[in-house]
Amino acid sequence: MFLRTRLFFLGVAALLAVGCRTTLKLAQDDSEVVLSRQLLSASDPAQKGPFAVRTLYYGSGTDRRRVVHRDSVVLKTKPVDGSKFASAPDKAQEKVRKRYWGFDFKQLPVNGRVWYPDGTGPFPLVLIVHGNHNMKDFSDPGYGYLGELLASRGFILVSVDENFLNGFMRGENDARGWMLLKHLERWRAWNDSSGGPFAGKVDMHRIALMGHSRGGEAVAVAGAFNRLSHYPDDATVAFDFDFDIRSLVAIAPVDQQYRPADRPTPLANYNYFLIHGSHDGDVSSFSGLAQYERVRFTDGGSWFKSAVYVYRANHGQWNTVWNNKDNGPRSGRTLDLRGLIAPEEQRRFAEVYITAFLEATLRGHDEYLPMFRDHRVVGRWLPKTMYVTRFQENAFRAAADYEEDVDVTTGSARGVALSGDSLSTWKEAVVPFRNRNSTMGHNAVWLGWNSRLAGDDTTRRGQPASYTITIGDSLRSAWRVDSSSTLVFSLAPTDAAPGPRTPPKDTAKVDSARTKARPSKRKPPKVAPDSTPFDLTVEVVDADGAVAAWPLSRYGVVRRPLESYVYLRKGRDKQRFANLYELVLQTYTLPLRDFAAAGTVDLSRVRAVRFRFDRTVAGTVVLDNIGFSRMSRAFFVHAPAAAGDAAHEAMR
């Protein structure tokens, strides 16, 4: 009897434990179809290049914790005073840090590990910096895989040591960014020197900064500081950087942990590339999207920005030291690691996209540009998972970005009018992150519809809802909207579906005005969730009212939200997040010339763009940054499509 009782309690305990562990839930994978084509004929950017790779270390030469920065330093550097930018959170931490490192914030070492090509150069310079982690588990060696690859392809890659800013620090990302610029000062001196391994070998006009996590925010801070004459929070600190930084890469960055002058970091006129994993167990919102939105192109230069959301990627696997410990050494207890793609796969994505970005923006290899507009063009290079891509370049003109006012009928430029028909939801609101009470800091429009008419007959449909952006003639002329232009917008379906539409009243009935409709006592019939692929129609209307239309799915996959379960414990994601998915809008680029083949529309007199919600019975989409661009042809694939391959044609 006693044994039975014990067995009973053991059983209950086991059930409790196992029952509270979530089953592996992944969104239905469509990568076999979406990534089935390879339209770029350029060389695989993840392939090693022709250069032999050399490595060296530079730094203080006195580091008490890292042998390589003490004994293997080839180039000695003087420490820099970072006390204006960072300080320990309390006295105890200050002591602990000083005891461990042997220096304080007035003596920050300029340490770096370098992978560089064995050649005469000059080679573009790329700095990468890690983010926050256990300060004793050194993070800077974790980007060696990028160092080996990039150096073989003719880049100098420096993994910057900022481990001494790790640990229990807060609001120190200005120091992280400032340190990057102090490293660049060293590189300028070495390049200008008459001797040494880098004399005349560094192309200081082609510089990129890359950062991971807090380092991802630090590159934006460095980008902003680079063009400032003074430190925004203490103008007694003068800046004199002005490096030719062309490109910034943010890997799963945080945002606004540092706010210059208590504002989000502004950025202008840099190429900006952002990646983030859906299963990030540390920075669990796609925080970098807020910075992405704040990158502006104002000087007429050829800039672009792109962001890729990688389904099943985490925070740490971009760094070989961090790996799958997003939540610390005990991550296996907290995070559902089963859903992650393999570390090598995740890093292959980084190799492909980061190398291509640097090749395109630092060395003018434009053949890689289309993949930043539409990831589907490089299906064979990418790990088989799902991606969402955001994209914008300097030629984009926004007709509606929903930032200007609270009038839902006005666009962002004079002469733009917005209208909706038969919509169940039509509102402009700030785009939320999946984390509670946090937003991306910019607005978008929510459009919801349900074509089904209320009543017992579930097959009755009303006319499709639509949303129209009308542009005036003068604006069309000013923007030179014609067949060379591209319609650009970003859109994401949500999981909300409005209820059936109230049918129009039958005014032919004599007593219809007098008789009050009685609410039906019967429960409304259950309608199965719409499992058909999500789609809608995009129409271009000319001044004469002629219409040409294509389904949106021709220009990119239109997915329902990608739910991601980060935590191992059942219900934890619902508890911690406002949504089980991150609302990541996919950017679609529709060349107007394509619409010539879809109707007799006059593309030199485009009057309106209409989104007609006729391909999915009910749904809600979030729409933003609708506009036109005369974007460079380099962003499109020039390879000829096979006859009858419509999908291929649309991807070009």
Partner 1 sequence: MTRSRRFGLAATALAFGGGLGAQSVATYYPLVVQLPVSVRSQGMGGAWTAGRDADAVFSNPANAGASGMNLGGSRFGSASSAGHAATGLSFGSTGLSLGVAWLDYGTPSGAPVPWRALGERGDDDGLSAQAVVAGTMTYRGIRWGGAARLLEERIANAHDGTIGFDIGAAREFGQISTGIAVLNIGRTLDVQGRKAFLPTRYSLGASAGSYPIGPLDVAAVAAADIRRDGRFSPAGGVELSYSWLDGYVVSFRAGARRFEAESLNPLTVGASFGLDRFVVDYALMDLRAPARGTIHSLALRVR
Q: How far apart are CA 518 and CA 76, in angstroms?
A: 86
Which stretch in 326-334, 504-512, 583-591, 641-649 sits in contact with partner 1 by CB under 8 A? 326-334
Shortest separation between residue 91's beta carbon and partner 1, angstroms: 8
Size of the residue set binding partner 1 (CB under 8 A): 15
CB-nearer residue toward partner 1: 134 or 269:
134
Q: Which amino acid belongs to residue 428? A: E
For residue 124, whether the previous peptide bond is cis, meaning omega lies within 30 degrees of 0, is no
568 in contact with partner 1 (CB under 8 A):
yes
Quote the CA–CA distance of 466 and 117 in Å, as a whole number: 56
510 binds partner 1 (CB under 8 A): no
Q: Report how far apart, in Å, the C-alpha atoms of 52 and of each of 119, 150, 354, 626 are.
A: 8, 11, 20, 46
Which residues, other chains included, contact 90 with Cβ-Cβ below 8 Å and sequence gap of 6+? none
Choose the stretch contacting partner 1; rule: CB under 8 A; options: 112-120, 282-290, 298-306, 329-337: 329-337
Tokens of 572: 């934890």
CB of 167 to partner 1, least distance (A): 12
Find the binder of partner 1 among 1, 3, 17, 406 (CB under 8 A). 17
Return the residues of window 343-402 that contact partner 1 according to CB under 8 A: none
Is residue 427 within the footprint of partner 1 (CB under 8 A)? no
Nearer to partner 1, 17 or 643 (CB): 17
* Helical segments of 449-549, H only: 473-479
Q: Do residues 508 and 575 lie in contact, with contact meaning Cβ atoms separated by under 8 Å?
A: no
Decide: 619 and 516 in contact? Cβ < 8 Å.
Answer: no
Burial of 142 from C-beta contacts in 10 A (0-12 / 13-18 / 19+):
buried
Binding mask 87-106 for partner 1 (x = CB under 8 A): -----x---x----------
Query: Considering only 49-57, 188-196, 198-206, 328-336, which stretch makes contact with partner 1 by CB under 8 A?
Result: 328-336
Tell whether residue 443 is a contact of partner 1 (CB under 8 A). no
Q: How far apart are the first and last CA of the chain?
A: 74
Using CB under 8 A, which residues numbered 173 to 212 contact partner 1? none
Instruction: Compute, in degrees rounded to 10, the torsion defined by CA atoms 218, 219, 225, 231.
Output: 10
Kindly state the helix (H) or strand (E) to which residue 610 belongs, with its residue range: strand 606-613
- Interacting span for partner 1 (CB under 8 A) from 9-17, 111-119, 171-179, 379-387: 9-17
**Which x/- pattern over 35-74 shows residues binding partner 1 (rule: CB under 8 A)?**
----------------------------------------
Within residues 332-351, the interface with partner 1 by CB under 8 A covers 333-334
* β-bridge mates for residue 21, sequence order: 569
Q: Least distance from C-beta 278 to partner 1, angstroms?
A: 19
SS3 165: helix
For residue 20, how many other CB atoms are within 10 A of its CB?
Answer: 12
Please tell me the total number of residues recorded for the chain in this structure.
Answer: 652
What gap in Å lies between CA 82 and CA 101, rounded to an integer?
15
Residues 536-555 that bind partner 1 (CB under 8 A): none
The one segment of 172-180, 226-234, 566-574, 594-602 that binds partner 1 by CB under 8 A? 566-574
Stretch that binds partner 1, among 13-21, 385-393, 446-454, 516-524 (CB under 8 A): 13-21
The verdict on 576 binding partner 1 (CB under 8 A) reads no
Which pair of tokens denotes residue 647? 């999908």
Residue 18 beta carbon to partner 1: minimum distance, rounded to whole angstroms? 9
- To the nearest whole angstrom, how small is the minimum distance from the Cβ of residue 329 to partner 1? 6
Least Cβ distance, residue 628 to partner 1 (angstroms) = 49
Choose the binding region for partner 1 from 213-221, 270-278, 376-384, 568-576 (rule: CB under 8 A).
568-576
Nearer to partner 1, 359 or 573 (CB): 573
Residue 569 engages partner 1 in binding (rule: CB under 8 A): yes
Q: How far is the CB of 276 from partner 1 (least distance, A)?
A: 23
Q: Is 21 in the site for partner 1 (CB under 8 A)?
A: yes
| Residues 6+ away with beta carbon under 8 Å from 383 | 341, 345, 346, 348, 349
Q: Does 16 bind partner 1 (CB under 8 A)?
A: yes
Q: Which of 20, 199, 237, 578 binds partner 1 (CB under 8 A)?
A: 20
Closest to partner 1 by CB, 65 or 572: 572
13 near partner 1, rule: CB under 8 A: yes
Distance CA 317, CA 215 (A): 15
State the nearest-atom distance from the C-beta of 207 to partner 1, in Å: 41
The yes or no reply on residue 519 touching partner 1 (CB under 8 A) is no
Of 299, 234, 224, the closest CA to residue 264 belongs to 224
Site for partner 1 in 614-633 (CB under 8 A): none
- Work out whether 329 is an interface residue with partner 1 (CB under 8 A): yes
Place of tokens 């910075």: 291
State how far Cα 552 lies from the chain centre: 21
Task: Please state, as a whole number, how many other Cβ atoms lie within 10 Å of the Cβ of residue 422.
Answer: 15
Q: Per CB under 8 A, which region of 15-23, 64-72, 593-601, 640-648 contacts partner 1?
A: 15-23
Q: What share of the chain is helix, strand, coil (3-state, %, to 5)?
A: 25, 25, 45
Q: How far apart are CA 325 and CA 652, in angstroms?
A: 39
Question: Per CB under 8 A, does 567 bind partner 1?
Answer: yes
Q: What are the helix (H) ranges across 282-339?
A: 288-294, 331-334
Q: Round to whole Å and give the CA distance between 503 and 365.
A: 56
Give me the residues that bind partner 1 (CB under 8 A), please.
Answer: 13, 16-17, 20-21, 92, 96, 329-330, 333-334, 567-569, 572
